[in-house]
Every structure is written in C-alpha cells, then in structure tokens.
A = this chain, B = another copy of it.
Amino acid sequence: MTELFSKSARDALLGPLLDSGWEIDSDGDVLEKTFTFGDFTEAFAFMTRAALWAEKWDHHPDWSNSYKTVNVRLTTHDMGGLTSLDAKLARKMDQLLT
C-alpha cells in the first residue's frame, strides 16, 4: 500500500529530487518543478512520454504548459500528501531529459 512518507523516507527519497530542481510547497504536500525546453514540440514530446508513465503507474500529474515550459505539480490526492509514487514519477520525468 502506498503510504505518506515517514520523516526518514522523505529525506532519503526527496533529497536527490530537491537537488535536481524540484521544490516542496509550503504545506509540504506537493512536489513542483518547471521544465523549460527549446520549443513547443520538445515540451509536448516530454509531456507525451511522461503521460504514458503516469497512466502506466495510475498516478497522474497536475501540470500546465505554455509554449516551451511545462510546470509539474505532484501529490497523492488519495493520501493528502506526498508518497513514494510522487518521488517515482518525479525521478522518471528527470530521467526523460537525460
């Protein structure tokens, strides 16, 4: 079962994400990052790849796109906060850029 992060798990899993540009909102329940690409085709290609993983894992981002930027907000709505699913999808999104 997916559970809200314990303090130790949170530090271990979220630390590397914070180092790569993700931020946690002031309430501590949303992981957020803005990705910037070369143009719209690159931004939407990223969204398309991320969408396939989101659907595969049944864990979907709240995200917005304006031309070459994509803002992503991750949270586990069912649990009311951050879980390992959010960390997993965040890591995948970063990996798609490498």
1/0 per residue A6-47: CB within 8 Å of B? 000000000000000000000000000000000011001001
Least CB distance, A12 to chain B, in whole angstroms:
28
Least CB distance, A56 to chain B, in whole angstroms:
11
CB contacts (< 8 Å) of A47 on chain B: these are 47
A: number of interface residues (CB 8 Å)? 16
Inter-chain CA distance A50–B30, complex, in Å, is 28
A40 touches B60 (CB 8 A): yes
CB contacts (< 8 Å) of A54 on chain B: these are 40
Inter-chain CA distance A41–B40, complex, in Å, is 21
Least CB distance, A55 to chain B, in whole angstroms:
6
With contacts A40-B54, A40-B55 taken as known, whether A65 is within 8 angstroms of B63 at the C-beta atoms is: yes
Inter-chain CA distance A44–B25, complex, in Å, is 26
